[in-house]
């Protein structure tokens, strides 16, 4: 007896550990690869913070359209976190993980509401795979972004609405269930554009509520009415940002279908072809269970599977909308079928398409459970079948692990991009915002002028502090690098009408420091601002050999600068690096004289 208790306790501990490991891995992943420099869409927050600081904030600041989305509630959450933390993006990244933990608990609660009294090993298998899917690193794009809240919050609200309707709590009447679910769907609708799909995804659950035909009709009418009302409110002042090519639905139907299936199969595949095949298999499975449920409408299986069908319908509708909204323009511009499929496997979409995989796993659990029993007298399943189930689970687990590892190089690339943005932001007061798209400010925003405005606002609120008074060291005693003569003409006389661009290049290091400088900055002689920048990242084995250090292997830099942006006349071009420890700019060797005619 004591041995059985110990064995049971050990099993419980191992099971809990299995559920907890994906969370630990995710926390390590985010802590290891996150850089808190804001990029791209994250710069929408300083405007609201500035309005708030000046007591000019209004509802329109939150209701304002962001691309295709109206993200009222994520904006509110992010602004609150920013005011608390002085806009430390780590708070937002932590909230991303918190929402995912809620999502995992919500799915487990839904499992408890629909589980069978026997064959719980099937439930544990499905739930373990579910955990690894929810916390998968493959969603690196939103794990490492403050605006990941938009995606995770919408998922949380959809799950809460499904659980509310599926709940068997006695004090929750049907009216209260619908009211709470509708509230969740309404908030989801104004947390992300795809939140509007939650109303449609919940239709099977709403229809599945007990009642006579008249009651069901009234509920359905009310539900659709609330959905239409949400769309009407959403559409107030809405500007269409899409570039759709609906003719492609007829011209390239296989390409469109391929994009759609690739979206759905992306959580378990690293390549476009594999994603397409897995997406096709999943869609066929979902269609089978939908038809099977309709045929056996009053069965216990259909009753328990309905919430999972709603959960699966949500990513299915999402993939359809993304295919039309993003897929058609992508297919229109794509050079070939492979490129458009690769474009479909976007990390941020996996947070939703992963729900499709989860719903199918749970429906399969229900389907198998209704045909097997652990009773010794009535055992309908043989060990061969059980072996196949474990084999299938093993294949899915293997695909998930491969997807985890596949995300690491992408996360490193994302980290490098944010590190570059961080280095650029640190020197924002010295970099001209009017520079062409070759400068580093264009690497993380579409409007450098606005970034300068937002930086000023953040400094005014004391949320950020960027260096303003730095020395320019013209004659260093040590060599920090060199700018090499561009390959143009002997006298470097260029004509704006004939010459389109000028390539500046060279190498850069910071003596006695382990890390290479991130940026080389170019200026006109006598000016204490930089008209363009270049990242230090190109291989220069000659420099590493000359300086006898392999750390200088990637010390090369180059920038292709448009001559039309250069003023007329004679100029001396100088290259600089930023020595953070010395709090100074240090000039590289090799000034270049350029005459622009």
pLDDT for 462-499, tens place per residue?
888 888 888 898 888 888 999 887 754 445 666 656 66
Same domain assignment for residues 128 and 276:
yes
Residue 373 has pLDDT above 70, yes or no: no
Nearest one of 224, 219, 198 to 207, comparing CA atoms:
219
CA 92 to CA 472: how far, in whole Å? Answer: 37
Residues 498 and 396 in one domain: no
536 and 413 share one domain: no
Instruction: Name every residue whose Cβ is closer than 8 Å to that of residue 242 and which is 6 or more positions away in sequence.
Output: 68, 325, 329
| CA distances for 373 relative to 40, 49, 289, 382, angstroms | 54, 59, 21, 11
In a domain, 499, yes or no: yes
Helix (H, G, I), strand (E, B) or coil at 413: helix
Distance, in Å, from the CA atom of 588 to the CA atom of 476, rounded to the nearest integer, reads 9
User: Do 177 and 322 belong together in one domain?
Assistant: yes
Residues 62, 74 contacting (CB under 8 angstroms): no
Of 58, 151, 156, residue with least CA distance to 109: 156
Tell whether 372 and 510 lie within a shared domain. Answer: no
Q: Assess whether 479 and 565 both reside in one domain.
A: yes
Q: Given the structure tokens 């995989």, which residue do they identify?
A: 357
Residue 168, domain extent: 19-36+88-417
234 and 356 inside one domain: yes
Please tell me whether the overall predicted TM-score, pTM, comes out greater than 0.75 for this model: yes
Do 349 and 263 meet the contact criterion of CB atoms below 8 Å apart? yes
The first and second tokens of residue 236, run together, are 């107030």
Residue showing tokens 């994906």 = 22
Tell me if residue 533 falls in helix, strand or coil.
strand
Say if 143 falls within a structural domain: yes
- The pLDDT assigned to 341 comes to 44
Say how far apart CA 402 and CA 395 lie, in whole Å. Answer: 11
Which of 382, 400, 417 finishes a domain? 417
Residue range 99-110: mean pLDDT, rounded: 94
Strands of 501-508's sheet in order across: 481-484, 501-508, 556-562
Does pLDDT of 120 surpass 60? yes
Confidence of residue 222 (pLDDT cuts 50, 70, 90): very high
pLDDT for 37-86, tens place per residue? Answer: 888 888 888 888 888 888 888 888 899 888 788 999 999 999 999 999 98
- Of 274 and 355, the structure prediction assigns the larger pLDDT to 355
The reply to whether 494 and 395 lie within a common domain is: no
Which pLDDT score is estimated for 369? 78
Tell whether 319 and 189 lie within a shared domain. yes
Are 374 and 365 contacting, i.e. CB atoms less than 8 angstroms apart? no
Number of structural domains (the chain) is 2
pLDDT band at 338 (very low <50, low <70, confident <90, very high): very low
Are 169 and 286 part of one and the same domain?
Answer: yes
pLDDT at 141 over 70: yes
DSSP code of residue 326: I
Q: Buried b / exposed e across 415-434, counting CB within 10 Å, b at 16+?
A: bebbebbbbbbbbbbbbbbe
User: What percentage of the chain's residues is helix, strand, coil (to nearest 5)?
Assistant: 60, 10, 30
Q: Is pLDDT at 3 greater than 60 in this prediction?
A: no
In 481-588, which ranges are E strands? 481-484, 493-494, 501-508, 519-524, 532-535, 556-562, 569-579, 584-587
- 222-226, 365-369, 471-475, 492-496: segment of lowest average pLDDT: 492-496
First-residue to last-residue Cα distance in the chain: 95
Rounded to a whole number of angstroms, the CA Rg of the chain reads 29
Query: Rounded CA gap, 411 and 140, in Å?
Result: 6
Question: In this structure, what CATH number is given to the domain that contains residue 532?
Answer: 2.60.40.10
Domain match, 135 and 258 both? yes
Mind listing the pLDDT tens digit for each residue in 83-96? 999 899 999 999 99
**CA within 13 Å, CB half, 89:** 22
> What kind and span of H or E run contains 358?
helix 347-369
Do the beta carbons of residue 275 and residue 266 sit within 8 Å? Answer: yes
**239 backbone dihedrals φ, ψ, rounded to 5°:** -110, 125
Look at residue 79 and tell me if it is in a domain: no
The pLDDT-based confidence of 128 (bands split at 50, 70, 90) is: confident
Tokens representing 595 are: 């005459």
**Three-class secondary structure of residue 372 per DSSP:** coil
> What is the pLDDT of the chain when averaged over all its residues?
83
Q: Which of 365-374, 498-507, 561-570 has the lowest mean pLDDT?
A: 365-374
Q: What angle is formed at CA 280 by the lines to CA 277 and CA 284, rounded to 5 degrees?
A: 145
- How confident is the model over 406-426, as pLDDT tens digits? 888 888 888 888 888 888 889
Residue 49 resides in a domain: no
Tokens 């002997």 belong to: 490
Q: What is the mean pLDDT of residues 270-290?
A: 87
Convert the pLDDT of each residue in 293-324 to its tens digit.
Answer: 899 888 888 999 999 999 999 999 999 988 88
- β-bridge mates for residue 472, sequence order: 585
What's the average model confidence in pLDDT over 371-383? 54
C-alpha neighbours within 13 Å on the C-beta side of residue 98: 8
What pLDDT, on the 0 to 100 scale, is given for residue 585?
Answer: 93
Residue 591 in any domain: the answer is yes
Per-residue tokens: 475:
């004659």
Three-state SS string over 444-499 comes to CCCCHHHHHHHHHHHHHCCCCCCCCCCEEECCCCCCCEEEECCCCCCCCEECCCCC
- Assigned domain for 8 exists: no
Residues with Cβ within 8 Å of 380's Cβ and at least 6 positions away in sequence, in order, are 371, 372, 373
Residue 504, domain member (yes or no): yes
Higher pLDDT, 151 or 451: 151
Looking at residue 344, what is its pLDDT?
A: 42
Query: 135 with 275, same domain?
Result: yes
Question: What whole-number distance in Å separates Cα of residue 169 and Cα of residue 113?
Answer: 10
In this prediction, residue 379 carries a pLDDT of 52
Task: Give the helix ranges, DSSP H, for 34-173.
Answer: 45-53, 59-63, 72-85, 89-114, 120-134, 140-143, 148-166
Residue 43 is assigned to a structural domain of this protein: no
How far apart, in Å, are the Cα atoms of 60 and each of 94, 185, 237, 292, 451? 27, 21, 11, 47, 21
Domain boundary among 417, 450, 485: 417
- Asked if the model's pLDDT at residue 156 lies above 80, the reply is yes
- pLDDT for residue 4 is more than 60: no
Q: Higher pLDDT residue, 348 or 116?
A: 348
Q: What is the pLDDT of residue 489?
A: 43
């Amino acid at each position: 007896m004591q041995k059985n208790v110990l064995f049971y306790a050990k099993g419980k501990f191992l099971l809990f550990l299995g559920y907890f490991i994906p969370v630990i891995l995710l926390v390590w992943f985010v802590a290891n690869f996150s850089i808190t420099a804001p990029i791209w869409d994250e710069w929408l927050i300083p405007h609201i913070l500035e309005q708030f600081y000046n007591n000019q904030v209004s509802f329109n600041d939150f209701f304002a359209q962001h691309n295709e989305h109206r993200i009222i509630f994520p904006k509110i959450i992010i602004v609150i976190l920013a005011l608390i933390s002085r806009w430390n993006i780590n708070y937002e990244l932590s909230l991303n993980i918190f929402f995912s933990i809620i999502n995992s608990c919500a799915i487990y609660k839904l499992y408890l509401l629909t589980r069978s009294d026997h064959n719980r090993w099937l439930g544990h298998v499905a739930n373990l795979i579910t955990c690894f899917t929810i916390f998968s690193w493959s969603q690196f794009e939103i794990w490492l972004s403050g605006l990941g809240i938009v995606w995770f919050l919408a998922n949380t609200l959809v799950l809460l609405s499904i659980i509310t309707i599926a709940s068997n709590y006695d004090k929750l009447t049907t009216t209260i269930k619908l009211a709470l679910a509708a509230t969740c769907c309404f908030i989801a609708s104004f947390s992300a554009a795809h939140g509007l799909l939650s109303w449609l995804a919940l239709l099977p659950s709403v229809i599945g509520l007990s009642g006579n035909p008249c009651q069901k009709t009234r509920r359905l009418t009310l539900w659709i009415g609330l959905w239409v009302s949400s769309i009407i409110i959403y559409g107030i002042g809405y500007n269409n940002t899409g570039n759709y090519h609906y003719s492609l639905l007829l011209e390239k139907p296989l390409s469109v279908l391929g994009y759609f299936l690739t979206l759905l199969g992306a959580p378990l595949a690293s390549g476009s072809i594999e994603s397409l095949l897995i997406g096709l298999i999943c869609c066929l499975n979902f269609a089978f269970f939908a038809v099977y449920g309709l045929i056996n409408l009053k069965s216990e299986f259909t009753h328990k599977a309905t919430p999972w069908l709603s959960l699966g319908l949500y990513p299915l509708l999402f993939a359809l909308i993304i295919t039309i909204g993003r897929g058609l323009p992508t297919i229109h511009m794509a050079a070939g079928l492979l490129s458009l499929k690769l474009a479909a496997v976007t990390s941020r979409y996996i947070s939703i398409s992963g729900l499709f995989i989860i719903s199918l796993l749970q429906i399969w659990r229900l389907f198998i459970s209704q045909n097997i029993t652990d009773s010794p007298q009535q055992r309908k399943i043989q060990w061969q079948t059980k072996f196949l189930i474990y084999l299938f689970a093993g294949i899915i687990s293997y695909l998930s692990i491969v997807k985890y590892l596949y995300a690491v190089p992408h996360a490193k690339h994302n980290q490098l991009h944010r590190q570059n943005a961080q280095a650029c932001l640190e020197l924002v007061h010295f970099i001209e915002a009017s520079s062409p798209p070759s400068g580093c400010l264009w690497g993380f925003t579409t409007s450098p002028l606005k970034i300068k405005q937002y930086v000023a606002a953040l400094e005014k609120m004391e949320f950020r502090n960027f260096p303003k008074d730095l020395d320019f060291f013209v004659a260093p005693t040590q060599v920090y690098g060199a700018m090499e003569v561009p390959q143009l003409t002997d006298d470097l006389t260029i004509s704006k009408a004939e010459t389109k661009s000028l390539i500046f290049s060279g190498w850069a290091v910071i003596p006695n420091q382990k890390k290479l400088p991130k940026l080389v900055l170019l200026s006109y002689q006598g000016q204490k601002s930089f008209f363009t920048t270049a990242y230090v990242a190109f291989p220069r084995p000659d420099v590493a050999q000359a300086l006898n250090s392999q750390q200088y292997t990637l010390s090369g830099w180059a920038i292709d600068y448009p001559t039309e942006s250069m003023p007329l006349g004679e100029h001396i071009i100088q290259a600089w690096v930023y020595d953070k420890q010395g709090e100074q700019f240090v000039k590289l060797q090799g000034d270049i004289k350029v005459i622009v005619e």
